Chain A
């Protein structure tokens, strides 16, 4: 073991103040990308989060498939609801685990100690959670298409899934950061999340159903606009309050 004094004369050029000049914006984006890189790196090593979300999703659509025993026409009419129920349940599982990983070894404190605006932590976790959710959705969709004999690969529907996932993950990441600080974190997140995300899920189901039924765009435009509005509101509110939620 080498002494610090030998290897690292104090003061050193590594201090954030003394390093090469970096803009606040660059530091902010660097922190977000560092969190996303860290989450993806750790996940693609263990597959702990994606595998649990995926197995859970497949079980849910299988259960719905056998429980409902619907004819082809009726199956199409329930597709939007079953899909979003599956995404919501699996998403909750992923959000809970994603924050629990940070809390368990004190890593959340490690993130909070970084000299960046804490909203960067929120955006980093939000992007990671969104990527995980989209990966699971990308695997669930073809399985669902085969089981329910429904074509889900329509550009409009895929955009709705993206918008709905953004809104759900945006508010879910914020509430997961809140619930992870409590002893009852596993049960608290769905209790907090579902009432708040209800509006997003409802708009997403309406818009998805519209695309699957082949409705006019005029009918689908309203829930899509709602989804966009919810996404903007949830992201803006989370940006403003995240610091207060994570600090004691």
Chain B
């Protein structure tokens, strides 16, 4: 579903990604872990076609970036630590706006389904700026799955959430993944990643330093694996 070969990203003289190779099968849930500055967000922004690679190949669902970016974006849902929502619009209006941007027809029923899914049906007409951070993040996930994408990218989705909101987000993420979608999530929270993902990749110093599936990790815990990958 996602194939990345020898991906390099430079910002001026600074090289952030130094030849990343990354392959994700359909239905996999990959947790991309790593310290601050490892290049996780840059990598996800390239997959989301928000940033162009300096060198290397990126293919998502059979479409190449950046040449076929519009086709890739039609199959992609992105959630970041920012909600990507307009505070002066209601939840319903935000979803209606994005539905029109994605060319979704008959969106009224879909909006109701999404609001029920994220538990915000009763607040559908309230302005988003009156929502708590957790509610905004749930609506952000609703926005991201509005067009039924095959691939979901989550960039630190738990940032700024309290314990209750994080638990609620866990449930939403699990149902999103249970749909058979391919998911890539960056996170600092190893416990939550361990709970959700089927594969764990460690990005360090601009390359994938280690990769292990949930089955392979049974012998060791994620924290040990993570520390070994960073040390190596």
Which residues of A are at the interface with B, using a C-beta cutoff of 8 A? 1-5, 7-8, 10-20, 22, 27, 30-31, 33-35, 37-38, 41-43, 45-46, 48, 101, 105-107, 109-117, 247-248
Contacts and interface: CB of A to CB of B under 8 A. Distances in A.
Interface in B78-134: 78, 80, 82-89, 93, 97-98, 100-107, 110, 113-114, 116-119, 127
B101 A109 contact: no
Contacts of B98: 110, 114
Contacts of A31: 100-101, 103
A7 B80 contact: no
Contacts of A34: 97, 100-101
Contacts of A22: 103, 105
26 contacts: A1-B117, A7-B113, A8-B114, A13-B106, A14-B104, A14-B147, A16-B104, A17-B75, A20-B105, A27-B103, A30-B100, A34-B97, A38-B86, A42-B88, A45-B127, A106-B80, A106-B83, A107-B84, A109-B48, A110-B98, A113-B50, A113-B73, A115-B102, A247-B50, A248-B50, A248-B51
Contacts of B179: 4-5, 10
Given A1-B118, A17-B74, 19 more contacts: A3-B117, A5-B178, A7-B113, A7-B117, A8-B113, A14-B106, A14-B110, A15-B148, A15-B149, A30-B100, A38-B89, A45-B89, A106-B83, A107-B85, A110-B85, A111-B101, A113-B76, A114-B101, A115-B103
Contact of A1 (B50, B74, B171): B171
Q: What band does the interface of chain B fall in when counting residues whose beta carbon is under 8 Å from A? A: 35 or more
A43 B98 CA distance: 18
Nearest to B136: A105
Contacts of A14: 104, 106-107, 110, 146-148
A30 B176 CA distance: 28
A16 B176 contact: no
Nearest to B179: A10
A112 B52 CA distance: 13
- Tell me which of A8, A31, A105, A113 has the highest count of chain B C-beta atoms within 10 A of its own C-beta: A113
Contacts of B117: 1-4, 7-8
Nearest to A42: B88
A83 to B, nearest CB: 31
B180 A10 contact: yes
